[in-house]
Amino acid sequence: MAPLLKARRLAALAGVALALALLCSSASFAATRTTAPSQNVSVYFVFTDQKLAYEILRATTGGTGEVMLEKYVMRGDFATFIVINRSKKPQGFAFLGKTFALKPGQKAHFSKPLLVRGSFPYRSTTDSSKAFRGVFPVY
């Protein structure tokens, strides 16, 4: 009877060890899929007489000082938003809870870490046409 009891204890111990190994391995996989260290991006919102548009510039790695035009930003990026009014009339701008009133030729800026994925609406507060509003995606 003693050998049977030892076998059951050994099987239970092996089961606990296997469950612990599986649990620890899934935690290590999750750690590799978290957000990478943030990178700095500059996002330019530019008003013209016809529309409001944005462009994203990302500094290249390696310290060369070169910038690349990007199509989107990633969660974890640290963004500096620059709003420029190149139109002939005053414009208002609303995005991520910030609002600005800009005279012709005036600039405004703010910075924010992009911690959440999603689509964030931006708009002109002075012109409600479709050309003066849109959605800014964060992947």
Model pLDDT for residues 110-137, shown as the tens digit of each residue: 999 999 999 999 999 999 999 999 999 9
**pTM score:** 0.71
- Give the three-class secondary structure for 130: helix
> What pLDDT is attached to residue 61?
74
Q: What is the 3-state secondary structure (H, E, C) of 73-113?
A: ECCCCEEEEEEEECCCCCEEEEECCEEEEECCCCEEEEEEE
Band of pLDDT at residue 13, cut at 50, 70 and 90: low
Quick: pLDDT tens for 87-118. 999 999 999 999 999 999 999 999 999 999 99
> What pLDDT is attached to residue 12?
62
> What pLDDT is attached to residue 43?
97
- Who wins on pLDDT, 118 or 33? 118
What the block records as the tokens of 37 is 């260290």
Quick: pLDDT tens for 57-81. 998 777 777 889 999 899 999 999 9
> What pLDDT is attached to residue 119?
96
Q: Give the rounded distance of the alpha carbon of 27 from its chain centre.
A: 24
- The CATH superfamily of 40-138 is Cupredoxins -  blue copper proteins (2.60.40.420)
Number of helical (H) and strand (E) elements in the chain, helices listed first: 1, 9
